[in-house]
Amino acid sequence: MKFRITNHALEEIQKRKIPIALVEYVVDNPQQVLTQDKDIRIYQSQVNLGTGKLYLLRIFVNETIDPAAIVTVYRTSQIKKYWKI
């Protein structure tokens, strides 16, 4: 997918020390894609960030604009809360 990263998302990626390459990989190869509302879809995958612990990487993308915009990114250890079976 062609996308751009907003300044806010870039700040969050840097603050949370999430590798940009991992963000790009999850957007291109998500384990799940959820719809938040008419504008935002959530691309998410379970990832190991080098600590041996699994996290859920959640990437919020506005697909109504061209190119699509990553609006925010975060990781959480609460996988069961957000993972859809």
28-58: per-residue pLDDT in tens? 999 999 999 999 999 999 999 888 899 999 9
Q: What is the Cα–Cα distance from 75 to 85, expressed in whole angstroms?
A: 19
Q: Is the pLDDT of residue 85 over 90?
A: no
| 22 falls within a domain | yes
In which band, very low, low, confident or very high, does the pLDDT at 22 lie, cut at 50, 70 and 90? very high
Supply the range of the domain harboring residue 61.
3-78
Residue 84 maps to a domain: no
**Is 74 domain-assigned?**
yes
In a domain, 20, yes or no: yes
Rounded CA separation 79/31 (Å): 13
In this structure, is residue 70 part of a structural domain? Answer: yes
pLDDT of residue 50: 85
Q: For residue 53, how many other CB atoms are within 10 A of its CB? A: 9
Q: Is 66 inside any structural domain?
A: yes
For residue 58, is it within any domain? Answer: yes
Mean pLDDT, the chain, integer: 95
Question: What per-residue confidence (pLDDT) applies to 36?
Answer: 94
10 Å CB burial of residue 36 (0-12, 13-18, 19+) is exposed
